């Protein structure tokens, strides 16, 4: 189980990562703040859901293969489950913080 402390350490470590080993530019990547990260995840989830809906409509009209529809729905479902898991962890961390003595 992920604790609030482990999540905070992981978030702090994200800001210190460098792109040099991946991209080869050698410059430190600007850290994305938590709000931007959540907004990006929600945008991706909405886009995946809309893509799945369009594939369903295409399948109904006979313009898409069934495997494409199933793949799009699975992708949208995975995105939604990820967002819900993050939401649950944020709520759990908030509740743990609220139980801390001052």
* pLDDT on residue 3: 63
Residue 78 makes CB contacts below 8 A (sequence gap 6+) with none
* pLDDT on residue 26: 46
41 and 80 part of one domain: yes
DSSP code per residue over the chain: ---HHHHHHHHHHHTT-BSHHHHS--SBPPPPPHHHHHHHHHHHHHHHHHHHHHHHHHHHTT-S-HHHHHHHHHHHHHHHHHHHHHHHHHHHHHHHHHHS--
Residue-range definition of the domain harbouring residue 90: 32-102
Radius of gyration of the chain (CA): 19
**Spans in the chain with pLDDT lower than 70:** 1-30
22 and 45 part of one domain: no
* pLDDT on residue 12: 63
19 and 41 part of one domain: no
How many domains, the chain? 2
This prediction's pTM: 0.63
14 and 62 part of one domain: no
* pLDDT on residue 34: 82
* pLDDT on residue 49: 95
68 and 41 part of one domain: yes
* pLDDT on residue 53: 96
């Amino acid at each position: 189980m992920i604790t609030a402390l482990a999540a905070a350490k992981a978030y702090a470590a994200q800001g210190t990562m460098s792109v040099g080993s991946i991209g080869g530019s050698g410059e430190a990547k600007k850290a994305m703040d938590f709000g931007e990260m959540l907004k990006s995840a929600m945008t991706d989830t909405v886009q995946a859901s809309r893509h799945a809906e369009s594939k369903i409509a295409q399948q109904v009209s006979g313009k898409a293969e069934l495997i494409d529809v199933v793949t799009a729905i699975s992708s949208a479902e995975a995105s939604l489950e990820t967002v819900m898991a993050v939401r649950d962890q944020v709520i759990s961390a908030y509740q743990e913080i609220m139980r801390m003595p001052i």
